Chain A
């Protein structure tokens, strides 16, 4: 061998061993070269690989190792020095890289290991979160179910619907086999099966309420698991299957009285219903906690909904009752109004019917007075006249009584001779008294004023009535009438504690006592005396033909005169004393007293009362217009006549002092004219006084007149004296309401 600079292998080539080494080396090299390729391939595939530098290093290491082994193949046979050089270089590099890699791995492997632990940790955490989310979801489900159930339950106020819906919804939500509601019976000793889910019409099973199981359920506010064999749970027909678990919960039945405004009622109420829920049989389902909670919440909601339904029922019932009562009251009111109207109509008609013959009597008596009469005849005629005048007044007062009750009666105040009044009464009563052989005496106190201001007619009527009663109810004996000025110590009578007369300068109290020796009155009848139409039962009163109206009217007059009237009697057969006190005015000395209650003689035909007073008369009726004009002309007025409202409005001016207008003609609106006149004359002193002439003075007409601003109202037909007095009143006071 020449000096080829080859290197000989250390050992002589052993064929077999060499062959195996050769092959192994080859495969090692192959593997070492393929590993990095695989690595590169897979790393390229994966998205994340943080250790590229390590990969490169490792790759380099592997490649070099492979190269080393590959080059080793050539060293088995004779090889050149170059190969040996390459081999050495390769090995050196390999050594460097391997060491580097080894050093680096020391850092990397712990990291890689910790990644693993972190991965494990995260997996655990994820599992835990999954569990929790499952839990939350279940809870949310439960909540949703409760809300839905509550909504269903509360959306109706009907008891049955509430309970049915509860069972249905619960059954659906919890997938129950059976759901039942047991309500306590009226007696409270038993529970009755009222509603079930599956069976349409549950038969009325009852179960005594005091079973231990039931007590257990009632005493706890939670849902309690009960045995499927207990009586309340035995609703399903027994079968071969294994019954599911059963839970029972109490449902408080709240009464209205349990509600206080501010706090939820304590469940001190004793009444509960029982709700029983059964899971499907043959299923391995158990009652979960959240399901039990759901059941409890639902039970409470049902309780509330039921009580709302109860409240609503109550209020509907109350409202129905009130409506019925309203209808009944309305009917009663209308009936009462009809009755009042009927009575008023009757009174008005009767009044009219009674006045007509009265006028005939009065007229003819007056005429008779004018003829030649003997003194006795004259006296008789005068008495007839006076009595009929009184009767006419009484008839007026019958109508007045209804007005008295309206409260619309007013006294006709005037100055009159007090003594004359008493004398009149005496004169009137003497004939009847002498027939009955009763002695009548009159005592007037010396300090009584001769003249007084008051309603003469009605005072006389009162005295006459009282004295008349005294005469009527006495068969024999005497009657004494005393009148005196009531002094202050006598004003307060212990017997009439509710009467408080107030003495003053312009007024005095007249006290009249009428004592008789007649049949007397028993004490228990005394309060009834002043009631209208009430009579005592004794035959004496029935025979005397009283209507029972007199004292009632007297009482009202006396009250109007701010006085008091009462009757004392010691009992039957002991006579009685009627006493009344009325307030009268004291006239000033200068006032000339009016003529006493006698047929009036019209004084002035000649000199007129209102010279030159410009007056406007509006009346559609020709005759009536002429009469009114005649009246006013007679009184000296300057009368302008118009027959329509347009004409009236055209003609009226501030020169006219008074406007008389007829308002009872239908079709012509006197009220409208009054309003227009009021508008036309804004200044009060320019405006003429407007007086309505009408045929009826009921309240409606009066109110209408007052409403449109009229100053007065006169009832037709108008007499001369009335017109005169009306005009003087109007011109003096500018207001008058009303003149009949």
Chain B
């Protein structure tokens, strides 16, 4: 495929991610931090996020499986996840975490279970999206081009 077309696809894809709310401005900040001295910054951060989130999601599942649910621990895990997701700009995950936290506050187990499912789903979705994104970027790099930086004013 032509370089320009791939680049266009990347831009469109990124656009769609923003439109659908998967990503927010924070992701753009991350991209800005990527430069020649730090070429894989975004990739590293995103990978770290997914490792982290997987661990946290496991903890959450285990915690909710207990007969006596420890809501404090639950809350702290969700807080971590929220922090991580907001740091990379994974907006939908972050929102799901916010909802999760509310249920934790009122100690509603049913709500928490539903939210957990939702968070898992969002994580999964955004992971897929990122994978596609990175694949496109790799293709561009492989073809010798440079990844177009998206600039937004806020």
Contacts and interface: CB of A to CB of B under 8 A. Distances in A.
Contacts of A621: 52, 80, 83-84, 87
Interface string B83-97: 111111101000100
Given A363-B152, A602-B151, A620-B80, A626 B91 contact: no
Nearest to A358: B154
Contacts of A627: 30, 33, 45, 87-88
B153 interface: yes
A495 B52 CA distance: 65
Contacts of A598: 153
B131 to A, nearest CB: 17
Contact of A720 (B29, B45, B48): B29
Interface stretch (A330-338, A364-372, A472-480): A364-372
Given A623-B49, A630-B45, A717 B26 contact: yes
B41 A630 contact: yes
Contact of B25 (A599, A626, A719): A719
B79 interface: yes
Interface string A583-623: 00000000000000011111001100000000000001111
Contacts of A360: 18-19, 21
A606 B15 CA distance: 26
B70 to A, nearest CB: 13
A598 B152 CA distance: 11
Nearest to B18: A363
Given A605-B35, A630-B41, A716-B87, A600 B153 contact: yes
Interface of B is mostly: helix
A415 to B, nearest CB: 19
A392 B37 CA distance: 34
Nearest to A366: B152
Contacts of B76: 665-667
Determine the interface band of chain B, counting residues with CB < 8 A from chain A.
35 or more
A701 to B, nearest CB: 15
B152 to A, nearest CB: 4
A371 B32 CA distance: 19
B63 interface: no
A634 B79 contact: no
Given A630-B33, A631-B33, A666-B76, A624 B84 contact: yes
Interface in B81-136: 82-89, 91, 95
A637 interface: no
A630 B39 CA distance: 11
Contacts of B154: 359, 362, 389, 392, 600, 719
Specify which of B15, B79, B95, B152 lies most central, judged by the most chain A CB atoms within 10 Å of its CB: B152
Interface of B: 11, 14-15, 18-19, 21, 24-26, 28-30, 32-33, 35, 37-38, 41, 44-45, 48-49, 52, 75-76, 79-80, 82-89, 91, 95, 150-154
Given A363-B28, A664-B79, 15 more contacts: A356-B95, A367-B11, A367-B18, A370-B11, A602-B32, A606-B35, A621-B80, A623-B48, A623-B49, A626-B45, A626-B48, A630-B33, A634-B35, A665-B76, A665-B83
